[in-house]
Amino acid sequence: MEPIKPVFEEITEQLNSIREHIQVIAVTKQVGVERTKEAIQSGIRHLGENRPEGLAQKLEAIDEDVCWHYIGNLQTRKVKDVIDEIDYLHSLDRLSLAKEIQKRATRQVKCFVQVNVSGEESKSGIAPEEAIDFIQSLEAFDKIQVVGLMTMAPNTTDDQVIRKAFKGLKLLQLQVSEKQWAHAPCTECSMGMSNDYLIAAEEGASFVRIGTALVGSESEAKQ
Domains and CATH numbers, the chain: 4-222 (3.20.20.10)
Tens digit of each residue's pLDDT (9 = 90 or more) over 91-145: 999 999 999 999 999 999 999 999 999 888 888 899 999 999 999 999 999 999 9
Q: What is the CA radius of gyration of the chain?
A: 17
> pTM of this prediction?
0.96
**Where would I find the H helices in 23-158?**
33-41, 52-61, 79-82, 95-104, 128-137
Q: Is 64 helix (H, G, I), strand (E, B) or coil?
A: coil
Residue-wise pLDDT tens digits, 101-111: 999 999 999 99
Query: Cα–Cα distance between 10 and 43 in angstroms, integer?
Result: 13
